[in-house]
A and B are shown apart, each in its own frame.
Chain A
């Protein structure tokens, strides 16, 4: 596995009269962790939805590892096939599939030929992944029979099977206990160690400031500050908009 650079250039998205994402530029370097923070309604999830093609941007460009995403290709499955994988705010497992099959769907990420070629060794790969993440025992259980925290792990196993070059995580720490968050931080650092580019959106500032190489602060659809954690934390605009208000 290796990562690639993900860059958004001046992307915007409006819903009706609301500019949810307004002229945002952002570059996540290969093998780094970028954190996106900001108060509720700042446009973080919309930005993530733009980066993964759930929405096509009204304006702006998206570049995945040197490939500029064309207008017609700004769709979730096409961006996924460029190597961009994501998780959702609350784990979105498929309730009508068991854990094993849930993870297997992750292998769909890639051009048809690669996907078919991969099918042969997949069962072993999934078993290994589930064993590593401590879910091997529950492989045949319906995914929704698992507690919420474990469903997040299923979702993580699913995106890892996709062998992403860029991994975007929407609030991975929400609902996790302190120790689980610590384990998550270790996992993310390990993922970065494999060269994968990681982007996380989270409210847990200790996690974000602790592991990120770069932090992007959003407010009202705009980026109000970006840089390494220490610089961002010292930024007065950030303190006013977000940190000051919440603590």
Chain B
């Protein structure tokens, strides 16, 4: 009973924090219809700034909290003003989600430059001692946290129901077009509420600091928690956000208390999946379904011209010849980095099919790499099976996981799919780091090299031909398939699935098989990585790897297959050869994804192809058999 009471108290206090995070999500969702992935970053930022305020700048606690909150709010406002507002009506929801993801990467990467990956903590506010009621101990900070939760809920309720600004915000959530028509300044209000999410997040982080520790590493996790919270409570409902957050906190505490912390996070994922499948409208919303599924697509999708056939063939020929003779030119260690580019390229083919062709935002690629890599390495190490068989088992396992993932998410809106894939990646990362069999965060060592029929791919030189042959086969094979009908239908689905379905296209089937194919390629990449480096750790195939794949796609030009590989080369080769670049990779990734989507959404190769097409159109057309005569002026 005592245990249960302490667990319940722990659940309610983390629940109060989760409720604040979910409230932040709801505010942003209601004012601009977006999932504010930065929210977790705001939480961590608020906590760490408070820590610095007290410990480095020697401010009184209250002042430190105020300063941290104001700074975070200001950062949120500036991000909205400079990045979100100009793109709000220009980008598709998927690309907007990517911009927000870029913001999260940037915040996390920048924060890591300042605070590193360390976890920070401090004494409870006011240096209070823990209370004891009967035989139950209540940590002092819990009182502060629950108090903050109640105050914020009361203030927000009053604000939304009693003030004109609050009523305007509710009006925008109901009907943005109508709100605009009656003269509400929608974008200003959206900025206000986005800044408010920064405020809520920072407060949550500051109050969390003495209770749990706060680390820059947790930013994405807190964002995920907010998304799970509003999924539980129902998108758009403030009351639901609070209930969802508290319920989530209690679930987590019960699982952690009675099972283990590992199950705490796994159970959150399972809760999310069950909710999304059974009640996509949340626990509280009753039978009312939001009528949004026929809505017309918003935002522009970038148009990429076909490459001129002759040019395409020339590039193909050059690549094949150059690729074949490259290692003969006497590369040393650099061949290894080129091989890593090849492994990334394999995973990127799948990523681009999902993102560039089908418009699905999936963070799952690195999770499938992890499944492929670990299953291949573990079966070979523990069962002693041949490496080729291990490779196939790795790929097969990735496909099986993707199958389950697809069945769960394929009928959900793109937002939910991105969410579930984020959960999947974090789960894979946690499992890899905490299970004994995977070697924990230290990783698996002494994985043998791949050998086929006695021939071992154990040198950079041998592996080079293996990996690049595979890239060529899958790259050009995919290109060949996507050039025609399949690619056309996928691009139609990516912008307007309803219009495509009304023409007889089985949207789910395309999404399903694309996911399986992408997962197979990712699993293959993961398994090859393990066999090539002879080592595998969760950090190699974690969330940051998925970020890199997404940024590579966006930078190179999503939907062009070759473009993402160029982007992938940039992000695999540069960090490999330069320590300085490696340190700043995350920041560069964040900046690039935002900049490319804002300025040239077609990416490097897409913009180049469009430029070539424009030049060709400008050039005078010559018909067959026509002779041009220069007439002297």
Q: Which residues of B contact A104 (CB under 8 A)?
A: 485, 488
Name the contact of B502 in the complex, choosing from A85, A95, A97, A102 (C-beta under 8 A): A85
Nearest B residue to A91 by beta-carbon distance?
B499
CB of A10 within 8 A of chain B? no
Q: Is the CB of B504 within 8 A of A81?
A: yes
The answer to whether the Cβ of B348 comes within 8 Å of any Cβ in the partner chain is no
The stretch among B71-79, B286-294, B421-429, B527-535 that forms the contact with chain A is B286-294
Given the complex, which residues of A lie within 8 Å of B492, measured CB to CB? 94, 97, 102, 105
Interface contact A80-B502, CB-CB below 8 Å: yes
Q: Assess the B301–A77 pair: CB atoms within 8 A.
A: no
| Contacting residues, chain A, for B503 (C-beta < 8 A) | 77, 80, 85, 105-106, 108-109, 158-159, 162
Q: How many B residues have CB within 8 A of the partner chain?
A: 32
- Cβ-based interface call for A16 (8 A): yes
Question: Which residues of A, 1-24, contact B by the 8 Å Cβ criterion?
Answer: 15-17
- A96 adjacent to B499 (CB under 8 Å): no
Query: Could you tell me the distance between the alpha carbons of A110 and B294 in the complex, rounded to whole angstroms?
Result: 23
With A15-B289, A16-B289, A96-B304: A77-B499 Cβ-Cβ less than 8 Å:
no
Taking CB atoms, residues of chain A closer than 8 Å to B297 are: 92
Collect the chain B residues with CB atoms within 8 Å of residue A101's CB: 488, 491
- Shortest distance from the beta carbon of B413 to any chain A beta carbon, whole Å: 14
Looking at the assembled complex, report how far the CB atom of A61 sits from the nearest CB atom of chain B, in whole angstroms: 20
A48-85 residues with Cβ-Cβ distance < 8 A to B are: 49, 52-55, 75-77, 80-81, 85
Are A49 and B488 interface neighbours, CB within 8 A? no
| Interface contact A77-B491, CB-CB below 8 Å | no
Indicate if A149 sits at the interface (CB-CB under 8 A).
no
> A53 to B506, alpha carbons, bound, how many Å?
13
- CB neighbours (8 Å) of A110 from chain B are 504
The smallest beta-carbon distance between B431 and chain A, in angstroms, is 36
Interface string of B483-525 (1 = CB under 8 A from A): 0010011011011101111111111000000000000000000
Find out whether the CB atom of B291 lies under 8 angstroms from the CB atom of A15: yes
**Contact assessment for B303 and A95 in the assembled complex, using a CB-CB cutoff below 8 Å:** yes
Say yes or no: B288 contacts A54, CB within 8 Å.
no
Q: Mark B442-467, 1 if CB is under 8 A from A, else 0.
A: 00000000000000000000000000
Q: List the B side residues contacting A80 at CB < 8 Å.
A: 501-504
Q: Are the CB atoms of A92 and B504 closer together than 8 Å?
A: no
Q: Is the CB–CB distance between A94 and B501 below 8 Å? A: no
A105 & B500 in contact (Cβ 8 Å cutoff): yes
Complex alpha-carbon distance, A109 and B505, angstroms: 7
Do A109 and B504 touch across chains, with their CB atoms under 8 A apart?
yes
Give chain B residues whose Cβ lies under 8 Å from the Cβ of A115: 504
Residue B302 at the chain A interface, CB threshold 8 Å: yes
**Would you call B626 an interface residue if the criterion is a C-beta within 8 Å of the partner chain's C-beta atoms?**
no
> Within residues 290 to 310 of chain B, which ones have a CB less than 8 A from any CB in chain A?
291, 293-294, 296-297, 300-304
How close is A183's CB to chain B, nearest CB, in angstroms? Answer: 24
A97 with B504, Cβ < 8 A, contacts A16-B289, A54-B294 known: no
Cα of A194 to Cα of B533 in the assembled complex, Å: 66
B299 vs chain A, min Cβ distance (A): 10
Residues of chain B contacted by A55 (CB below 8 angstroms): 293-294
Closest-CB distance, A205 to chain B (whole angstroms)? 25
Q: Which of A15, A55, A75, A77 has the most CB of B within 10 A?
A: A77
Contact of A77 among B302, B494, B506 (CB under 8 A): B506
A96–B296 touching, CB < 8 Å: no
Q: Knowing A77-B505, A85-B503 touch, does A96 contact B302 (C-beta < 8 A)?
A: yes
Task: With CB as the reference atom, state the residue of chain B lying closest to A116.
Answer: B485
Chain B nearest CB, measured from A23 CB (Å): 19
Residues of chain B lying within 8 A (CB to CB) of residue A106:
503
B494 touches A96 (CB 8 A): yes
Alpha-carbon distance between A15 and B293 when the two chains are bound, in angstroms: 12
A119 to chain B: closest residue by CB: B485
Query: Chain B residues with Cβ under 8 A from A162's Cβ?
Result: 503-504
Q: Tell me the nearest residue of chain B to A81, going by C-beta.
A: B504
Asked whether any CB of chain B lies closer than 8 Å to the CB of A86, the reply is yes
Given known contacts A95-B300, A96-B491, A142-B303, A75 and B496 CB-to-CB distance under 8 angstroms: no
Which chain A residues border B559 with CB–CB below 8 Å?
96
B600 to chain A, nearest CB (A): 15
- The reply to whether the CB of A88 lies closer than 8 angstroms to some CB of chain B is yes
**Given the complex, which residues of A lie within 8 Å of B499, measured CB to CB?**
88, 92, 94
Q: Is the CB of A52 within 8 A of B502?
A: yes
Q: Is the CB of B504 within 8 A of A77?
A: yes
* Complexed CA–CA distance, A85 and B294 (Å): 16
Provide the residues of chain B in CB contact with A15, threshold 8 Å: 288-289, 291
- Closest residue of A by beta carbon distance from B500: A105
Report the minimum CB–CB distance from A221 to chain B (whole Å): 14
By the criterion CB–CB under 8 Å, are B294 and A92 in contact? no
Q: Is the CB of B291 within 8 A of A76?
A: no
Give Cα A158–Cα B300 distance, bound, in whole angstroms: 21
Contact A108 to B502, CB < 8 A, known contacts A54-B293, A94-B496, A96-B495: no
State the Cβ distance, B428 to closest chain A Cβ, in Å: 32
What is the minimal beta-carbon distance from A179 to any residue of chain B, in angstroms?
27
Chain B residues with CB under 8 Å of A16's CB are 287-289
* Known contacts A94-B495, A142-B303: A105-B291 contact under CB 8 Å: no
* Nearest neighbor of B288 in chain A, beta-carbon distance: A16
Checking A81, A92, A119, A158 against B296 with a beta-carbon cut-off of 8 angstroms, the contacting residue is A92
Q: Which of B288, B304, B489 contacts A108 (CB 8 A)?
A: B489
- Whole-angstrom distance between the Cβ of B177 and the nearest chain A Cβ: 14
Instruction: List the 5 closest pairs (A to B, CB-CB), nearest first.
Output: A109-B504, A76-B501, A16-B288, A80-B504, A92-B499
Sample of 30 A–B contacts (CB below 8 Å): A15-B291, A17-B288, A52-B502, A55-B294, A75-B501, A76-B498, A77-B501, A77-B503, A80-B504, A85-B503, A86-B502, A88-B296, A92-B297, A92-B498, A94-B495, A96-B301, A96-B303, A96-B304, A97-B303, A101-B488, A105-B489, A105-B503, A105-B505, A108-B489, A108-B505, A109-B504, A110-B504, A115-B504, A142-B303, A144-B303
Known contacts A54-B502, A76-B502, A92-B496; 14 further A-B pairs (Cβ under 8 A): A15-B288, A15-B289, A54-B294, A76-B498, A77-B505, A85-B502, A95-B303, A97-B488, A97-B492, A98-B303, A101-B488, A106-B503, A108-B503, A108-B504
